[in-house]
Amino acid sequence: MGKNVLLGVCGGIACYKAVEVASRLRKKGVDVTVIMTKSATQFVTPLTFQEITGNPVSVDMWDKVQHWDVAHISLARKADFALIVPATANILGKLAAGIADDMLSTTLLAVTKAIYLAPSMNTNMYLNPIVQRNLKLLSSLPNYHIIKPASGHLACGVEGVGRLPEPAEIVEQLEKDQLAEESLAGKTVLVTAGGTREAIDPVRYIGNRSSGKMGYAIAAEAVRRGARTILVSGPVALAAPAGAEVSKIETAREMKELSERFFPQADITIMAAAVADYRVENPAPLKIKKEQEALLVHLVKNPDILAGLGKIKKEGQVLVGFAAETHDLLAFARQKLVKKNLDMIVANDVGRKDAGFNVDTNAANLISKDGKIEEIPLMSKSEMAKVILRRAEALLSK
């Protein structure tokens, strides 16, 4: 496969399963570099991992340097992705707080690629509100992915959640996410994300509730599949996906300009941004003072970016839009698909509390030009991004 993985091993009884994870990855042609915490060496020796991986094992920040560069930086640069097995409550807390006090935590803070965390601990520890808060925080970040623990008999003698999944299951998930062939290598994917803002005055604006999470997940997945990825983003509180070419905008007209500039280069364009339909005709040059009982603001229609791209779309290009609706979802989505000359539309019911804006999960109906409707159940936005890009790839291959 030619991939490099940084395997972090923390001090938990499930350490022995990390040995099998390393072995299975090696059998798939993955170059595995291991960093162990000092606690982990009480369960399994570094020599065990060294023999399995064929690489030196790092434990202490002050060990003899094995690489030409600063050790933790060179290991972080080398990794195509990182995997922590088992991910203890301790390492979860450190990562959530940005603490770097040993070789593993220091290296992980320098990793810009995907980091997979496989929590394993006592049930009460796992369900502790602080641990759950840390997991929620980490899962909200674009490069952190949580491998959910299994339920069953734990080493402490109790039954419950907190058991590390079997090594085969962990490697199977990595195969789906990271070890697949780069199916979009040589292709260009254009993604828009986030909401736009239209000024009322220098302080206030008209906006919407879009967090940009769906568009950013799509961009991250496009990078993972080997595509040159161009991301045009409205204002969001998200870290840019590593490897994407990011252009920041604020208004709908700015997004239109950049989208039309990059569109001719794109093989697949996915317009996930929530663009403001209207803007203030004459924004006030100075802050409007609160002196009137009522304020009248005259709105004018913004340009329809998606429809404009549909008009200039050439044969061989795939154009995907989103329909964020609160009622008559499928009817409105079908109209938009036809009217704007799309190849596929992602229809979201944003009235749902567990899908749409400002949440980490999504559910949708994918409607293609031939009228086929595919219902996608509730899943994480990163998983939804995989589904959307798989369907877009299929359209491109036609």
**Which tokens go with 233?**
């983003």
Catalytic annotation present for 156 = yes
Give the C-alpha separation, 386 to 179, whole Å.
14
Find out whether 131 and 90 touch, Cβ atoms under 8 Å.
no
* Active-site residue (options: 70, 73, 156, 299): 156
CA distance 311 to 304: 11
Determine the Cα–Cα distance for residues 158 and 165; give it in Å rounded to an integer.
Answer: 16
Q: What is the rounded CA–CA span in Å between residue 366 and residue 104?
A: 41
Distance of CA 271 to the CA centre of its chain: 16
Q: What is the 3-state secondary structure (H, E, C) of the chain?
A: CCCEEEEEECCCCCHHHHHHHHHHHHHCCCEEEEEECCCHHHCCCHHHHHHHHCCCCECCCCCCCCCCCCHHHHHHHHCCEEEEEEECHHHHHHHHHCCCCCHHHHHHHHCCCEEEEEECCCHHHHHCHHHHHHHHHHHCCCCEEECCCEEEECCCCCEEEEECCCHHHHHHHHHHHCCCCCCCCCCEEEEEECECCEECCCCCEECCCCCCHHHHHHHHHHHHCCCEEEEEECCCCCCCCCCCEEEECCCHHHHHHHHHHHHHHCCEEEECCECCCEEECCCCCCCCCCCCCCCCCCEEECCCHHHHHHHHCCCCCEEEEEEEECCCHHHHHHHHHHHCCCCEEEEEECCCCCCCCCCCEEEEEEEECCCCEEEEEEEEHHHHHHHHHHHHHHHHHC
CB 210 within 8 A of CB 357: yes
Nearest CA to 286 out of 198, 200, 207 is that of 200
Active-site amino acid positions = 156
